Amino acid sequence: MRQDIENLINYEIKNNVITKRDYIYVKNQIYGLLNLELDYKEYKPVDILYPSDALNNILDKLEESNMLDGSQTARDLFDSKIMNIFAKLPSTIQNDFDLLKSTNNKLATRNLYEYVTHLNYIRKDRIDKNISFKRASKYGFLEITINLSKPEKDPKSIAMALNSKQSEYPKCLLCKENEGFSGNFSRDSRNQHRLIQFNLKDEKWFFQYSPYIYYNEHAIVFSDSHHPMKIENKTFERLLDLTDEFDGYFFGSNADLPIVGGSILTHEHYQGGSYVFPIELASSLYEKNINNTIFKILNWPLSTIRIESKKKEEVLLFANKILETWKNYSNEALNIKAYTNEVPHHTITPIARKKDNKYVLDLILRDNQTSSKHPGGIYHPHEDKWHIKKENIGLIEAIGLAILPGRLKDELEDVKDYLILDKKLSENSIKHQKWADSFKALATKENIDELIESELSKKFEEILEDCGVFKLNDLGINQFIKYLEGVIL
């Protein structure tokens, strides 16, 4: 244990989270928290790759001495207490960030990202376990990640969560009250979580990194108050303003309706980061230049209009027009319907970025109608893809990165055994039978990994096609152009 503490402190000094000057203070604090007796013995630190290399050993020892109950949740709650000893107060982090941002915007975000990663707020050891790959498709490259970073809760943690009182504080996982929050069996701890406060026009907003990053510098910005997501004119304005505020970052929003939205609709927030998503590289099927504002229909499975202009107000003017007309657009021949009675079906998933001094805004048209044939959603993954993914196609997937459930790791091993060794599929994996049979004839021992990856990518491509409102056939493209020209000409 003492050796591990030494290794951890050494790691944080080497990564500039603390300095050598802080050594005695930090050591005393950790020993105090762990109820360990201090002495003058010296330990020679050993380099570690992640904080968890030391933390896991410390937590094991705490379990042996019954300071922890053996559940994963108790471990996660406790290790963030240890890590918080290394963390600066929010005001110091804010001041350092603001100061650096005024001279080097990109470095400010990069440093903050590294800082919270080294603090184990972003559990990089878990994220690095994700399986990720890229494959070519009709629409350019698509990316797949099998998400193994959020481990399934162990039975003990589930039982403790059931028995614990559901707290009303903080109101949700995004609220600013999470900063420094200790957590409990029903709520993740956010001890070493730190926020950056900033203004968008006259509104107060907060910037943070996602603890479950799916791509480089996966950031989240959220509103000061806890209120529901809404796609409106102001959303586009904020997203474009955010690209001014944080150099080199894209910002996008999940749609605000169920089925086509993200997982948290109760708190207004956007996602951003330093990453080139597949949609950014998509070619176009249609282009029109009106006074140096360029309109494109992208060769992308979800129906996407791109507006590019040096003038922010031009982009906003047309984005607003598209939102208003889309909300009321119906096309019987294509089964596109704006409302059922008073219930609206149409919204937009927007993504903003800056490129070559131009503002670029992608507007992905969404429709959340259901039918008796597709009770989960007509423009939602259809049932024949549920063995891979059943969940909503939110912002990140809509722009070309599939986040697939962790269960697939074991299930795909089963599928491989079935394809190569003819071993029967297990009960959990039997849902993949039809899919596996469709490419069984192609499988060899040598190509199996490659084959599974490309078949998964094909499935993702089809999932995205299910979500496209204007299908990319002659009729669909023709009607899509007609709709867009009706708005812009």
Instruction: Note the residues at the interface with Zn ion (CB under 5 A).
Output: 171-172, 174-175, 226, 267
Contacts 24+ apart (CB under 8 A), 451-458: 451/419, 452/412, 452/415, 452/416, 453/133, 453/135, 453/144, 454/135, 456/144, 456/388, 456/404, 456/412, 457/133, 457/135, 457/137, 457/142, 457/144, 458/137
The residue among 66, 63, 71, 59 whose CA lies nearest residue 8 is 59
Q: How far is the CB of 171 from Zn ion (least distance, A)?
A: 5
Q: How far is the CB of 177 from Zn ion (least distance, A)?
A: 8
The residue among 278, 287, 329 whose CA lies nearest residue 306 is 287
Which C-beta is closer to Zn ion: that of 88 or that of 226? 226
Which C-beta is closer to Zn ion: that of 172 or that of 281? 172
Which C-beta is closer to Zn ion: that of 81 or that of 226? 226
Q: How far is the CB of 226 from Zn ion (least distance, A)?
A: 4
Which C-beta is closer to Zn ion: that of 269 or that of 306? 269
Which C-beta is closer to Zn ion: that of 206 or that of 300? 206
Angle at 74 between CA 72 and CA 75, to 5 degrees: 65
Cα separation, 97 vs 327, whole angstroms:
40
Which C-beta is closer to Zn ion: that of 130 or that of 208? 208
Which C-beta is closer to Zn ion: that of 33 or that of 172? 172
Q: How far is the CB of 150 from Zn ion (least distance, A)?
A: 20
Helix, strand and coil percent figures for the chain, each rounded to 5: 40, 20, 40
Identify the three-state secondary structure at position 487: helix
The residue assigned the tokens 């996966």 is 218
Q: How far is the CB of 268 from Zn ion (least distance, A)?
A: 9
Q: How far is the CB of 167 from Zn ion (least distance, A)?
A: 13
Which C-beta is closer to Zn ion: that of 137 or that of 235? 235
Q: How far is the CB of 264 from Zn ion (least distance, A)?
A: 8
Q: How far is CA 210 from CA 7, 214, 222, 396, 463, in A?
A: 26, 9, 11, 13, 25
Which C-beta is closer to Zn ion: that of 124 or that of 171? 171
Complete edge-to-edge strand list for the sheet that includes strand 140-146: 131-137, 140-146, 401-404
Q: How far is the CB of 420 from Zn ion (least distance, A)?
A: 48
Q: How far is the CB of 88 from Zn ion (least distance, A)?
A: 24
Q: How far is the CB of 205 from Zn ion (least distance, A)?
A: 13
Cα separation, 408 vs 404, whole angstroms:
7
Asked whether 365 and 260 are in contact (CB, 8 A), the reply is no
Instruction: Record the tokens describing residue 52, joined without a space.
Output: 């968890």
Widest CA span in the chain: 81
Q: How far is the CB of 206 from Zn ion (least distance, A)?
A: 11
Instruction: Record the tokens describing residue 467, joined without a space.
Output: 């979500």
Strand 401-404 to strand 140-146: parallel, antiparallel, or no bridges (unpaired)?
parallel
Cα separation, 90 vs 100, whole angstroms:
15
Cα separation, 267 vs 353, whole angstroms:
23
DSSP codes of every residue in 118-138: HTTSS-HHHHTTSEEEEEEEB
Instruction: Record the tokens describing residue 102, joined without a space.
Output: 């005024």
Q: How far is the CB of 267 from Zn ion (least distance, A)?
A: 3
Backbone angles phi, psi at 347, to 5 degrees: -155, -175
Which C-beta is closer to Zn ion: that of 40 or that of 169? 169
Which C-beta is closer to Zn ion: that of 139 or that of 206? 206
Which C-beta is closer to Zn ion: that of 190 or that of 346? 190
Instruction: Record the tokens describing residue 399, joined without a space.
Output: 């722009």
